[in-house]
Amino acid sequence: MQEFEADPIPRDPHFEAGLGDLVLQAGLSKLVVRPGTGAALGGWTRAGGVVFHPVADPNLAAQHGAHVGAYPLIPFSNRVADGRFAFESRSYQLDPNFRGEPHTIHGNAWMRAWRVLHHDQAMATLALDHSPPEDPAGQWPFRYHAEIDYALRDDGLIVRIRVRNTDDRAQPVGLGFHPFFPRDVDLALGFSAGSVWHVGPDSLPDARLPVEGEYRFAPMRGIDGPPLDNCYAGWTGSAFLRWPRRELAMTITAGPPFGHLVVFTPPGRDYVAVEPASNMTDAINHPDIPDRGLTILQPGEELDARVDFALTKL
């Protein structure tokens, strides 16, 4: 393994542990875990330099202004159109949870306080039980148990998510993980996928396109083109980020069920998001799409996913 040195990169003033947060340490890597804020990561730094960039999003009201560098998406990634869906001949209405639009976004696990099952210097396991009607059915109408492991290394992070159906009926489940990365001027991104979903003004998919032109990141290129907020299907399970000025590179690796990748490059912001996901946007309302990425869990069944983030020097 190539040795790292402290990089001449910006420090983030928001990267600090708050009440109830856990601090993991491995070599020069430091991770702040926020059980009370949806099992989110306050951020990840190495030698004081930012790896996961903390973002406070006022539209995600349930995060209460906390700075978040990454968080799990359970029991679905991205949007459900107008919060409405039908499943097994029943109709459901989810509560809105994102200011400024009618769609319900990213499930409900990010809105909840998780409990700590175990933690040591470099690893933490958190758990959440969602159990309507004691818990709001408008967040999600089915019961589930979720766990997440964060295993920190000096040169990487392993994230493992497990969701078990604890209801007495089947339920549709998708997963995602939403990290933010610092948007240096020389940041380059590379990955391959089979297709990409174009989105309309309502941020919902309206056409499946070939991965060409502004949507293409093979070979690797800069992210200074038109802003993206798109879900890629048929993702090969690997993505690469490079910050040449910092002489730093990251490889993201994920296996099934992560067959989608969301790329978010908002204009005028100092971060981007590259999000492994199992399901396409609004997958629950597209049963006609064979690779929509939604898993139907029978009672007692579990969905297990893992994503690895590995750092190297260029």
Q: How far is 110 from 13, CA to CA, in rounded Å? A: 23
How high is the pLDDT of residue 247? 92
Query: Looking at the domain assignment, is residue 2 inside a domain?
Result: no
Q: Which residues, 6+ apart, have CB-to-CB distance to 133 below 8 Å? A: none
Query: Looking at the domain assignment, is residue 9 inside a domain?
Result: no
Q: How far is 252 from 238, CA to CA, in rounded Å? A: 6
Q: What is the CATH number of the domain that holds 145?
A: 2.70.98.10
Q: How far is 15 from 40, CA to CA, in rounded Å? A: 13
Query: Looking at the domain assignment, is residue 5 inside a domain?
Result: no
pLDDT tens profile 103-150: 999 999 999 999 999 999 999 999 999 999 999 999 999 999 999 999
Tokens of 118: 């175990």
H or E element, residue 57 = none
Query: Looking at the domain assignment, is residue 92 inside a domain?
Result: yes
Query: Looking at the domain assignment, is residue 7 inside a domain?
Result: no
Domain that holds residue 226: 22-313
Structural domain total, the chain: 1
Name the pTM for this structure.
0.94
Query: Looking at the domain assignment, is residue 200 inside a domain?
Result: yes
Query: Looking at the domain assignment, is residue 204 inside a domain?
Result: yes
Helix (H, G, I), strand (E, B) or coil at 264: strand
Query: Looking at the domain assignment, is residue 8 inside a domain?
Result: no
What is the mean pLDDT of each successive set of 10 residues along the chain, which is 314 residues long?
Answer: 36 56 97 97 93 94 94 98 97 95 96 97 98 96 98 98 98 98 95 98 96 97 94 98 95 97 95 98 97 98 98 92
CB 241 within 8 A of CB 253: no
